[in-house]
Amino acid sequence: GVNDSGDYSQKSVHVSKHGSPALRKTLYQVMDVLIKTKPDDPVYLFMDKKRAQGKPYYVYMTAGANKFLRIYYGRVKEYLASLPASE
């Protein structure tokens, strides 16, 4: 394939158009703010590691958004589990 040939180095990748465009846009905006304001955040550190590996912009932004959603889901689930059970 094209990605296996000698010295070829892919500069960018196309974003998958599956899923909600509004959600994708919102997640990219969240990642953009996070990159600019939270250098000690675990998601920032993860994206910085991917960027240092030479990953294209959309690859590390999508990976960061996925990491953010997993952490957010875990925290919400933990919070809901800590609430007292109502009858």
Angle between helices 42-52 and 21-37 (to 10 degrees): 90
The whole-angstrom separation of Cα 28 and Cα 9 is: 25
The whole-angstrom separation of Cα 74 and Cα 52 is: 27
- Per-domain residue ranges of the chain: 32-81
Please count the CA atoms within 13 angstroms of the CA of 21 that sit on its side-chain side: 1
pLDDT tens string 4-47: 656 766 666 677 778 888 998 999 999 999 989 988 999 999 99
Give this prediction's pTM: 0.74
pLDDT tens string 70-87: 999 999 999 999 998 876
Our measurement of the distance from residue 13's CA atom to the centroid of its chain's CA atoms, rounded to an integer in Å, reads 15
Please count the CA atoms within 13 angstroms of the CA of 85 that sit on its side-chain side: 1
